[in-house]
Each structure stands twice: as C-alpha cells, then as structure tokens.
Amino acid sequence: MKTKEKVMAILDRLPADCSVEDVLYHLYVVQAVERGQADAAAGRTIPHEEVEARMREKRLRTNGR
C-alpha cells in the first residue's frame, strides 16, 4: 500500500470530529509499527531476556543513587 493510500485509510477510520493531533498520533503509530517490522525482518532485534536484563540493570542504577 502506498503512503497516500495508508493516510487515506487512517483518515477513513477516524471520526469526523478528530483533531489534527489525533491524525498525527495515528500516523506516528503506523510509522513506528512499520519501522519495527522492518527491523525484525532485518534481524535488528534484541532477545526478550536481554531487554529484561538491561531494564533490571537500569532500575538498580537508578534506585541505587
């Protein structure tokens, strides 16, 4: 689907009284999902266990001050 078609599909799903901020938010979400899918397809991911370890480490540094 081309970009213009994606934008139009989003606009079609939003209520008539939506704000510009609503539109921008939905465009941002679509873009973020597409980037994530591209990263996953290219193997640019981090295993769940590593993410947990990094977050645990960060929490310990933050709480240890």
Spans of all domains in the chain: 3-63
Residue (of 41, 7, 42) closest to 26 by Cα position: 7
Q: Concatenate the DSSP letters of all residues of 8-25 into one string.
A: HHHHHHS-TT--HHHHHH
Please list the pLDDT of the chain residue by residue as tens digits (65 residues): 899 999 999 999 999 999 999 999 999 999 999 999 999 999 999 999 999 999 999 998 888 65
